[in-house]
Amino acid sequence: MSEHIEEISAIEAAKRLQGDNAIKLLDVREPFEYELAQIEGSTLVTQALVAEIIATWAKDTPIILQCHHGMRSMQAALFFQQQGFTSLANMTGGIDAWSREVDTTISRY
């Protein structure tokens, strides 16, 4: 039985990321979207990175997932949960919310 994925706002994500290098911010958008707008410190997820995460990351690594609006990142969070990861959060509103609420210098698209 799957557990509930925590959903956090862009503001809450920014607070958690501030000064905590242990938290990983994973961006599950397409490369062209990442080129348009990205959150500093985020990592674009590739198939190779997914394989590395599953094989080598501690299952309790704190991970925040984000996409454009929060739908794809929720699917990714559920996938990582199925792989045994236990400290997952989905950023609701995605980078669109981040660009409105946290860093207005990030382009909206």
Q: Which residues are catalytic?
A: 67
Do 5 and 88 touch, CB atoms closer than 8 A?
yes
* DSSP run (H or E) holding 43: strand 43-44
